[in-house]
Amino acid sequence: MPHAQLKNVRGAASGAAALLILSAGLAGAQTKISGESNCKAPEAVGAAEVGDRAGHAIVLLKFACTWTTPMEVAGQKTKDVTAIQIEDTSGGKGQFRGYIVVVMDNGDKAFGRFSGTDTTKPDHSGTAEGPWSFTGGTGKLKGLKGKGTVKTTIAADGTATDHIEGEYSLPASKPAKK
């Protein structure tokens, strides 16, 4: 698949990547969160033309993002984000879904899903948006749940900025056994 076409499928994966980041709060209570991340142009892991019309393709992408405004949970700040996205694209419009893994500064991980739609212009810049949800985590983030939205601005070179909003909760701590 030509590099220019890969830029067209940039989508909200970066948004997705960003979306799984967290903020501290009371266990079990919903805590509002927001943050911003910058993502490198995606790596195309695989692609195939569908064949039903010109330019219709399914693409598997991998993204790496860093936080310009990190989020925080349980005293941990977001460090690295990796997203894997499946994109169905045709004529400058696409639908996507995917998964993200966020590594916190202490090594704990947060996991999530995302989906949405994106639009690209002839110069390959564009926008993407959609919902996300937390699906769990490790260490202090075990049992993580939440949801929100991500809006992504895509530059012509394939890099992107994600704006994430939402809320999350962690399960209440179990009392120590006597």
Q: How far is it, in rounded angstroms, from Cα 69 to Cα 30? A: 20
47-64: pLDDT as tens digits: 999 999 999 999 999 999
- Domain assignment present for residue 86? The answer is yes
pLDDT of residue 28: 53
- Domain assignment present for residue 175? The answer is no
Residues 6+ apart with CB under 8 A from 68: 36, 37, 38, 161
- Number of other CB atoms surrounding residue 46 within 10 Å: 11
Q: How many domains are there within the chain? A: 1
Q: Is the pLDDT of residue 6 over 80?
A: no
75-123: pLDDT as tens digits: 888 888 999 999 999 999 999 999 999 999 999 999 999 999 999 999 9
- Domain assignment present for residue 72? The answer is yes
pLDDT of residue 54: 93
Summary count for the chain: helices (H), strands (E): 2, 10
128-177: pLDDT as tens digits: 999 999 999 999 999 999 999 999 999 999 999 999 999 999 998 766 66
Q: What is the CATH number of the domain that holds 69?
A: 2.40.350.10
- Domain assignment present for residue 177? The answer is no
- Domain assignment present for residue 115? The answer is yes
Domain that holds residue 85: 3-167
Burial class (CB in 10 A: 0-12, 13-18, 19+), 4: exposed
Structure tokens at 124: 């390959």
- Domain assignment present for residue 85? The answer is yes
Comparison of pLDDT for 13 and 37, the residue scoring more: 37
- Domain assignment present for residue 159? The answer is yes
Q: How far is it, in rounded angstroms, from Cα 54 to Cα 57? A: 9
- Domain assignment present for residue 174? The answer is no
